[in-house]
Amino acid sequence: MGCTLCNTNIESDRPEMLGTYDWLNDLPDTSYESNIVEIRFKGTRKEFFRNEDGIRLKRDELVVVACSPGHDVGAVSLTGKLAELQFKRKVKKPDRHEWNKIYRKATPSDVIKWEEAKARENKVMIRARQMSNELNLNMKIGDVEFRGDNTKAIFYYIADERVDFRELIRKYAWEFSIKIEMMQIGARQEAGRIGAVGSCGRSLCCSTWRTDFTSVTTDAAIKQGLSPNAEKMTGHCGKLKCCLTYELDQYLEALEDFPNELLSIETDKGIARHFKTDILQKKIMYKLEHSEGRIFVLDLEDVKKFLNMNKRGEKPSIEGFADQGQKEENMMSVGNWDQQTLPTKPAASKIRSKSHRLAKNSNFAGPDSFSGQKPIV
Mean pLDDT of 185-214: 82
Write down the mean pLDDT value for the chain: 78
Asked if pLDDT for residue 143 goes beyond 50, the answer is: yes
Higher pLDDT, 68 or 220: 220
- Does residue 282 lie in a domain region? yes
- Does residue 70 lie in a domain region? yes
In our burial notation (b when 16+ CB lie closer than 10 A, e otherwise), range 213-234 reads: bbbbeebbbebbbbeeeeeebe
Q: What is the pTM of this model?
A: 0.65
Higher pLDDT, 284 or 231: 284
Domain that holds residue 302: 265-336
Q: Which of 134, 151, 184 is a domain's end point? A: 184
In our burial notation (b when 16+ CB lie closer than 10 A, e otherwise), range 337-347 reads: bbebebbeeee
Strands, sheet with 36-40, edge to edge from the N-terminal-most edge strand: 46-50, 36-40, 71-79, 62-66, 102-105
Tell me how far apart the alpha carbons of residues 221 and 223 are, in angstroms, rounded to a whole number: 6
- Distances from the Cα of 12 to the Cαs of 41, 115, 255, in angstroms? 11, 12, 42
210 and 247 fall within a common domain:
yes
pLDDT tens, position by position, 77-101: 999 899 999 999 888 888 888 899 9
Top-ranked range on mean pLDDT: pick from 11-20, 125-134, 234-243, 312-321: 125-134
Structurally, how many domains does the chain consist of? Answer: 4
Residues, the chain, total? 377
49 and 97 fall within a common domain:
yes
SS3 label, residue 139: coil
Tell me how far apart the alpha carbons of residues 234 and 266 are, in angstroms, rounded to a whole number: 40
pLDDT tens, position by position, 264-297: 888 888 888 888 888 888 888 888 877 666 788 8
CATH of the domain at 179: 3.30.300.20
